[in-house]
Amino acid sequence: MAEKNLLQLIEETLTGDEAELPSLDRVAQTVFNLAQQEETTIPDLVAVIEQDAAMSSRILRMANSPFYAGLSQARTLKDAAIRLGVSRINQFAIQAVQASLYSQAPERYKPIYREVWQHHLLVAEGSRKLAELLDLKELRDEAYTAGLLHDIGKLAILHALGRLEENASLEQPSMDLVNELLDSLHPEQGARLLEHWSVPEPYISVARQHHAPYDEQLSTLQLLVRTVNKLMDGPRLKAELVVHDLMVLEEIHALQM
């Protein structure tokens, strides 16, 4: 039997019968799913989060961070959840999952994880700002979440490479090759990972389509993230968006129609 090539090994690791996809913490997944439902209340979230002591303590710390200086101390998880709101807690759950993936990464890939993580935050914040700029405030929280998830396929691929190296199934590839794999494979692998996590379809579509050719059928959410991602992939690394730069993109014309 012919020896499997690198792409086949990665594909098998992520999609085969014994796929080793990164897992989504049960509490984080429940929080994420609840946050997508309009009828979800703060007590609903608190009942789930209090099952995870680490997440509970981090949410309390966030609610008492310097950003909220001058307000009374949030002493209980319910107080913290009320202060932060459903959307912010949802985004925190996603960040916690990505931080967990980083902690499990081989040392040689951690700089790439950090770079991807920084890019996620920039695109998330930029997408939210763009939604506000275009008076699409009803989409600003979704845009932020989609920005956090759009390149998640890169983390899945790094996870697969780490597993293959750990199991002696693969010699360490050069970093140039790793970056080439990330660029070419991450949209589809990101969509597959989000499907595995049972994430709502709009976020799956953003992950799958954010590098695809422009199409008039793209949703507003997809257009927001694609626009900001194009800017952040260029020389600017700031979340503040420059209107002149936005106007040259096909996506911004579609958003203004």
The whole-number pLDDT of residue 256 equals 56
Q: What is the tens place of the pLDDT at every residue in 38-95?
A: 888 899 999 998 888 878 888 898 889 888 877 888 989 999 999 998 888 888 888 8
Return the higher-pLDDT residue of 5 and 78: 78
Structure tokens at 15: 């999609």
Q: Is the pLDDT of residue 250 over 80?
A: no
Closest CA to 22 of 181, 201, 210, 149: 149
**pTM (two decimals):** 0.77
The whole-number pLDDT of residue 20 equals 59
The whole-number pLDDT of residue 244 equals 41
Lowest mean pLDDT among 8-22, 55-69, 196-210: 8-22
For the chain, how many residues are written?
A: 257
Percent over 90 (pLDDT), the chain:
21
Q: How far is the C-alpha of 248 from the C-alpha of 246, rounded, in Å?
A: 6
Q: Domains in the chain, ordered, with CATH?
A: 23-104 (no CATH), 107-257 (1.10.3210.10)
The whole-number pLDDT of residue 236 equals 45
Q: Side-chain half-sphere of 179: how many Cα atoms within 13 Å?
A: 7
The whole-number pLDDT of residue 221 equals 93
Give me the long-range contacts of 13-20 (CB less than 8 A, separation at least 24).
Answer: 13/160, 13/163, 13/164, 14/156, 14/157, 14/160, 14/189, 14/192, 14/193, 15/192, 20/159, 20/160, 20/163
- Mean pLDDT over all residues of the chain? 81
Token look-up 């080439």 returns 180
Q: What is the tens place of the pLDDT at every residue in 108-126?
A: 888 898 888 889 888 998 9
DSSP state of 169: S
Q: Is the pLDDT of residue 257 over 80?
A: no
